[in-house]
Amino acid sequence: MRSPTPRARALSLVLAGTLGAVTLSAVPAARPAEASPKPAPASDRAADGTEYLVGRGIADVTGEAAEVGMMGYSSFDQKATGIHQRQRSRAFVVADRASGERVAYVNADLGMVFQSVQQGVLAELRKRYGSLYTERNVLLSATHTHAGSGGHSHHIAYNLASLGFQKDTYRAVVDGIVESVAKAHEDLRPGTIALGRGELTNASVNRSRTAFDRNPAADRAAFPGGIDPSMTVLRFRQGGADVGAISWFATHNTSLTNKNTLLSPDNKGYASYEWEHGHEGVRYLDEAKGFVAAFANTNAGDMSPNLNLKPGSGPTEDEFENTRIIGDRQFRRAKEIHDRAAEPVSGSVDSRMRFVDMENVTVAGKYTTDGKEQRTCPAMVGASTLAGSVEDGPALPGFTEGMNSPVAKLLEPFGVEPPAWLVGCQYPKANLVPTGLVNAAVPATPRILPLQIVKIGQLHLVAGPAEYTVVAGLRIRRTVAQGLGVPLENVVMQGYANAYSQYVTTPEEYDLQQYEGGSTLYGRNTLPAQQQEFAALAKSLRTGTQVERGPLPPDHSGRQLSLQTGVVMDNPPAGKRFGDVLRAPSASYAPGATVTAEFATGHPKNNLRRGGTFLEVQRQVGGKWVRELDDGDWDTTYRWVRLNGLTGTSKAVVTWRVAPGTPAGTYRIVHHGDAKSLFGGVSSFSGATAPFTVG
């Protein structure tokens, strides 16, 4: 293979800094079909008076935990070194007992649900259930954590920081989502749903206020303080028992900065953990069903959790404490709304979805700012995108938000000259990389995107494949509410859904070319185009007619490459075996102290231990060792440290912060790992420290 030219290397760096990939292996072949559980039969309203069957499920989607680029900040320096908390997929299935229609809703602790993931999930669901779950009635959404492993897109721009496609992370994401849906499907029981609403005003701040202020007064008036404080909660019950909740609230899931290298679901994941584990006693590694609490994002494009408007700052200067606090605030408000949710959800379950070529939409004057027919453009990344968001994670030096044309000097080093018509179409964007015109085996950014509306009784979820600013989301919600003839409060914008295409701003915000405007790929009329398309979906849903599927997005799974090296072999330190303790804990600890233990280990890529754990904190109870905590818990961390690259020697560093209220007793730390031999075989091992006391 030829070495990349300076021009090619420069273009790769620009794409990486802008957006965010090339495994010498393709996506694994399809697995054999599994036996399909029979779907619950539809019937008229049952004697118990319930309209719906409801089910919930949860599964692990944690990717590779070391030596892989992380997804979200587009930083080549941010490579995973372990796990702070595991990432999970939470699924709910709602079936209308009268019509038999159903929807599957998924919210996963991911930066984005890429189109590759939607394609993979739907393919697996089709093997299990035939035509029961399709692109029309399956809504896949992400919390937008920036602390997960990358490499699960099929578009080059979003895999650059991870040095290409990472098949093991991709399979963990797809398999975990499918597992969560399967659990929800198998859990279907007669149930009820209630709807609650409220506001949360201390978990977000507008990070692009200058662009927000360019919007008309009528739009700004909907958001006093420049934030969207609304929180919408669905409460799910089976019989008389609460079994789950979905809480929608707009804030970026970026309390953790680009300096963090531990996998984490960030603030929304902590909110889920506090409700499920802390309040409901869910034990993720146990088989028993438990309460499932999803904390979904909405139109969070310009909403930051960093209340002091700089990375890792607000309300404290500790990024992990900020993660906990912002997550706790979301949990507590959602729980209050959930507990007093008094509006019964009733009515039909339905959905509409259409694929749209977003680079080629003719937009009627009804939706444009000047009342004239306009068009969208081939995707182009703006120079201001490379500046990043200084409030959440600045990108490359030399680039600033608000950069406008002309940009000839910027383009000279890369030899990428966009045609005059595209510069005009994208005006006033300072055009940097015309990703829509990059002619490659694997496209840089997507072109054909899914737009979807899901109806659960009176609540309508408008699922869009992007990060929408609060005013952009408001305009889409108004369009859909008008088309459906329903109150605005019954329409929720679900961003980060089914695919990913960066940002959607209003035309007025786009003109200022802040970070969000520079990242609006398809030009100034991106939002009006989506309003038009969502209006058509709303009309179809209201009238009970069907919509054309639209152009099917291509499957790029067979053309994925990676420059990331795999594991060659593992060796323990001289005189040691895998699992041996290299650093032992002290003999005793008081609450508030931190226990640290180190073990001889293998590379975590050998086995992602999806659905399992790399560590346990065990307590001696009745002469037996009982697991108290694992690597999905807030108070533990698992770090992988390479000691010698030539010999393949590494160690695992396990920490446990002994929280106040921890029962006094005898404890030990256990590490589970896997080692690869020179001949390619992988073997599992475990090691345990000597007992120590807490109290």
- Amino acid identity at 462: V
Query: What sign results for the dihedral spanned by CA atoms 319, 325, 329, 334?
Result: positive
**d(C-alpha 67, C-alpha 65), whole Å:** 7
For residue 321, the 8-state DSSP code is H
The catalytic position among 304, 501, 540, 562 is 304
Pair of tokens at residue 132: 């029961």
Tokens of 72: 């979200």
Can you tell me whether residue 93 is helix, strand or coil?
Answer: strand
Contact 446, 359 (CB under 8 A): no
- For 34, residues 6+ apart whose C-beta sits below 8 A from its C-beta are 127, 128
- Report d(CA 576, CA 79) in Å as an integer: 28
Helix (H, G, I), strand (E, B) or coil at 169: helix
Told to judge if 180 belongs to the known catalytic residues of this protein, a careful annotator would answer no
State the angle between helix axes of 470-484 and 526-543 in degrees (0 to 180), rounded to the nearest 10: 30
Quote the CA–CA distance of 69 and 80 in Å, as a whole number: 6
Instruction: At 232, list the tokens.
Output: 């919408």
Question: 3-class SS at 467?
Answer: strand
Q: How far is the C-alpha of 78 from the C-alpha of 74, rounded, in Å?
A: 8
The full 3-state SS of 259-305, as one line of letters, equals CCCEECCHHHHHHHHHHHHHHCCCCCCCCCCCCEEEEECCCCCCEEC
| Residue 85 burial class via C-beta count within 10 angstroms: exposed 0-12, middle 13-18, buried 19 and up | buried
Give the active site residues.
304
